[in-house]
Amino acid sequence: MYDVIIIGGGPAGLTAGLYAARGGLKTLICEEKVFGGQIVMSYEVDNYPGFPKGISGMDLMDNFIKQAEKFGVEMNYDGVKSIEDEGKTKTVTLSSGTKLTTKTIIIAAGASPNKLNCPGEKKFTGKGVSYCATCDGAFFRGKKVAVVGGGDSAIEEALYLANLASKVYIIHRRDQLRAVKILQDRAFSNKKIEFIFNHVVKEIQGDKFVNGVLIENVQTKELSRLEVDGVFIYVGITPNTKFVEDLIKLDENGYIIVNDKMETNIPGIYAAGDIRVTPLRQVLTAAADGAIAASSAQIYIETKC
Amino acid sequence: MAEIHLTQSNWEEEVLNSDIPVLVDFWAPWCGPCRMVAPVVSEIAEEYKGKLKVGKLNTDEEPEIAVRYGIMSIPTLMIFKNGEVVDQIIGAVPKEYLVEKLQQVL
């Protein structure tokens, strides 16, 4: 029997693990894909306090993992299929079929990048279509690429790609960016970056590899083709809440509703990080959520179990 | 470490002329997801010892091989059988998914 099982090994889950294990709780973190979460795809994190020179997402998460390990957190690479509430105990069923019992659960499964869902996207994934500029940017050295999106991630990654590619088009469906001002200023002053506002991608084209995108002006509906070798997609995220939707209360967009103690509608089950309804989704806020969730779980175990 | 460090010079011997299937992990040091999936690849190498060879190819050190196999996204995991690519997985995936793919060729 675990005291706490944490679902997801990103900033929220790793911090929850660190706090729970440091508090003496028997703690397991289950991570289906990549320990570190979405932030390991970021080339540089320059707003996490304590690193005035900035730090790569990968190095920052390496530190999170080491620090959680130091306090004896167990970690496994297994997804979670479902969770059940039996009052004072809960059951977590892993993808492998193994059933584990625990007193509390912290759901920190984060969110996944959205797809464009246009023709060519799936076919050319890994053949010019990418969701990680840091991973794949080097394969586009001296080539032309398009970045789709207008938020912080899109602009940050476009700036990174501008160091490698000969030309970076930013295709955005609106007439202005959602990204914070400092990023906008950097992008607008970068000579390699060209903005294509009010356009959406209708099709990603190519033969063996991507050789262009078909774009549509959202106002005039006029179609045009842009010659590019790569398409990097940053069009928002969707919370990974499918496996808990029958049990846990979600908002209309699928995010978990919690109170300020990170408590969900089920006693002993908490949520933290990108997966919950929150006005800001950063490493810092996810980590803070994780700490609060672990502390709430500890109080629950001490008083209710 | 049970994985083989693959290079231009041992590629033919270790991958193309292997008697057993080979899982090749195309990776690079700057790639966060690559570094984070490395433990899964190591676990696979241990669990399938004798039945499957697992090798790692650094696309930074060996760009020619990466180009030859059309690698434009990492991590990419390629499964070779009798010198031919029989399957490939692009991006980080759950271990279960990888095991399922491997079972189809083993």
Domain boundaries, chain B: 4-105
Q: Which of A206, A222, A224 is nearest to A214 (CA)?
A: A224
Residue B32 to residue A134, Cβ atoms within 8 A? yes
Least Cα separation, residue B37 to chain A (angstroms): 6
Identify the CATH number of the domain defined by range B4-105.
Answer: 3.40.30.10
What is the reported pLDDT for A237?
Answer: 94
Residues A200 and A224: beta-carbon distance below 8 Å: no
Residues A91 and A100: beta-carbon distance below 8 Å: yes
In angstroms, the CA A42 to CA A173 distance is 23
Identify the CATH number of the domain defined by range A129-233.
Answer: 3.50.50.60
In angstroms, the CA A60 to CA A138 distance is 21
- From chain B, the residues in CB contact with A95 under 8 A are 94, 96
**Which residue among B40, B66, B74 sits closest to A135, beta carbon to beta carbon?**
B74
**Which residue among A32, A36, A126 sits closest to B72, beta carbon to beta carbon?**
A126
- From chain B, the residues in CB contact with A32 under 8 A are 94
Residues A197 and A175: beta-carbon distance below 8 Å: yes
Nearest CA in chain B to A140: B72
In angstroms, the CA A120 to CA A104 distance is 43
- Note the Cα A197 to chain centre separation in Å: 25
Q: Does domain A2-113+237-304 bear CATH number 3.50.50.60?
A: yes
**pLDDT, tens digit, for every residue of B15-70?**
999 999 999 999 999 898 998 889 999 999 999 999 999 999 999 999 999 999 99
Instruction: Please name the residues in contact with A228: beta carbons below 8 A apart, sequence gap of 6 or more.
Output: A143, A144, A145, A146, A169, A210, A211, A212, A213
What is the reported pLDDT for B1?
Answer: 63
What is the reported pLDDT for A220?
Answer: 97
Catalytic residues of A: 132, 135-136
Residues 60 through 99 of chain A touching chain B, CB cutoff 8 Å? 61-62, 77-79, 95-96
Catalytic residues of B: 31, 34
**pLDDT, tens digit, for every residue of A238-270?**
999 999 999 999 999 999 999 999 999 999 999
For tokens 């059951």, the residue is A91
Domain spans of chain A, in order of start: 2-113+237-304, 129-233
**Which residue among B40, B66, B73 sits closest to A135, beta carbon to beta carbon?**
B73
Q: Which of A14, A58, A233 to mutate to test the interface with B (most CBs of B within 10 A)?
A: A58
Residue B33 to residue A136, Cβ atoms within 8 A? no
In angstroms, the CA A14 to CA A68 distance is 6
Band of pLDDT at residue B2, cut at 50, 70 and 90:
confident
What is the reported pLDDT for A92?
Answer: 98
**A119 reaches B (C-beta below 8 A):** no
Q: Which of A288, A55, A42 is nearest to A152 (CA)?
A: A42
Give pLDDT tens digits along chain A (305 positions). 999 999 999 999 999 999 999 999 999 999 998 899 999 988 889 899 999 999 999 999 999 999 999 999 999 988 999 999 999 999 999 998 999 999 999 999 999 999 999 999 999 999 999 999 989 999 999 999 999 999 999 999 999 999 999 999 999 999 999 999 999 999 999 999 999 999 999 999 999 999 999 999 999 999 999 999 999 999 999 999 999 999 999 999 999 999 999 999 999 999 999 999 999 999 999 999 999 999 999 999 999 88
**Which residue among A34, A125, A139 sits closest to B33, beta carbon to beta carbon?**
A34
What ranges in chain A are assigned the alpha helix state H? 11-22, 57-70, 133-136, 152-162, 181-188, 283-304
**Structure ipTM over 0.90, yes or no:** no
Residue A79 to residue B96, Cβ atoms within 8 A? yes
Topology alike, domains A2-113+237-304 and A129-233: yes
Spell out which chain B residues touch chain A, with contact meaning CB-CB distance below 8 angstroms: 28, 30-37, 39-40, 43, 59-60, 66, 70-76, 88, 90-96
Query: Taking each helix axis from N to C terminus, what angle separates A152-162 and A181-188, rounded to the nearest 10 degrees?
Result: 30
pTM for this entry: 0.90
